Amino acid sequence: MRVSLLQMQPVSGDVAANLEKIGQAAKAASAMGATLLIAPELATSGYALGKQFEAVAEGRDGKTVETLSRLASDTGIAICVGFPERDGEVVYNSSVLVRPDGTNEFYRKGHLYGPAERAAFRPGSEQPVVFDLLGMKTAMIICYDVEFPEYVRTAALAGAELLLVPTALPVGEISRRIAEQVVPTRALENGIFILYADLCGAEGETGYCGRSVIVGPDGDEIARAGLGETLLVADIDPAGYDECRRQNPYLEERRTELYRLG
């Protein structure tokens, strides 16, 4: 399975410009034989909008999802993108997975990071759902979610082999360690592939870490971005990691009677 990951500089508040950028990446990825493209958290709107999310948030039947669905159909690849989702008077930090056949999946971020996110969004209240994507059991979470080991383990126990993680990781020393250490650890300890797609550059005073990565179930990097805009393309093969899972059978050898989780 050939996958692709877009690390992008968002145009703050300009949905049309961001969708155009995602569209160009989808066409390029398709031309290179990819069957999946993942873009960052809130890639359609930009991340540092504050109260402006009220103005750009759309429902699941809005123009943003319609445009992405048409793009998936035209390019023949599945596309996962973060967007601000409106549901009545409530706004969620969400992601959508659109397939070329017109079907889609949605996810609402469960762990909101910092006062700005908590002021703009309501947290999701459902666990990650595992769905079929090109023959792989797949789940979506968003950014801060991946930093909670129990949450990623929940998806893995539900059967996920591939985890899609749109991200807006801010600049900082701790952020760098999340991208370079925490994400590979989550892949290893759960025996799954992780596609971690970050924003880059800056929106006003908010700078992004970049360092997006595609990680295998052994925790090794398959492809890693630097600090600027990048389109990563890589092949992933679940069968190629059978020996890794035999050596590290964490999911099968858990002793839940010993774990007290508050």
Which residues of the chain fall short of a pLDDT of 50? Answer: none
Give phi and psi for 253, each to the nearest 5: -105, 20
DSSP code for 127: P
- What is the chain's length? 262
Do residues 93 and 41 lie in contact, with contact meaning Cβ atoms separated by under 8 Å?
yes
Q: What one-character-per-residue DSSP string does 108-119 give?
A: E-SS--HHHHHH
Three-class SS state of 71:
helix
Q: Which residues contact 90 (CB under 8 A, 6 or more apart)?
A: 122
The pLDDT assigned to 242 comes to: 86
For the annotated catalytic residues, the residue numbers are 41, 109, 143
Three-class SS state of 86:
strand
Strand residue runs (E) in 128-261: 131-133, 136-140, 162-167, 193-198, 202-203, 206-207, 213-215, 221-224, 230-235
DSSP code for 249: -
Query: How far is Cα 219 from Cα 17, in angstroms, rounded to an integer?
Result: 35
Region label for 172, one of left (φ > 0), alpha (ψ between -120 and 50) or beta (otherwise): left
β partners of residue 95: 82, 107
The pLDDT assigned to 145 comes to: 98
β partners of residue 136: 133
- Amino acid letter at 187? A
What fold, for 2-258?
Nitrilase/N-carbamoyl-D-aminoacid amidohydrolase (3.60.110)
- Amino acid letter at 214? I
The pLDDT assigned to 171 comes to: 94
Query: How far is Cα 58 from Cα 52, in angstroms, rounded to an integer?
Result: 12
The distance from CA 229 to its chain's CA centroid, rounded to whole angstroms, is 16
Q: How far apart are the first and last CA of the chain?
A: 39
The pLDDT assigned to 261 comes to: 74
Tell the residue number behind the tokens 């997975």, with chain if given: 97
Nearest to 53 by CA among 90, 21, 80: 90
The pLDDT assigned to 66 comes to: 98
Q: Could you tell me the residue ranges of all domains in the chain?
A: 2-258
CA within 13 Å, CB half, 254: 14
Task: Look at the alpha carbons of 59, 125, 45, 9 in this order and tell me if their dihedral is positive or negative.
Answer: negative
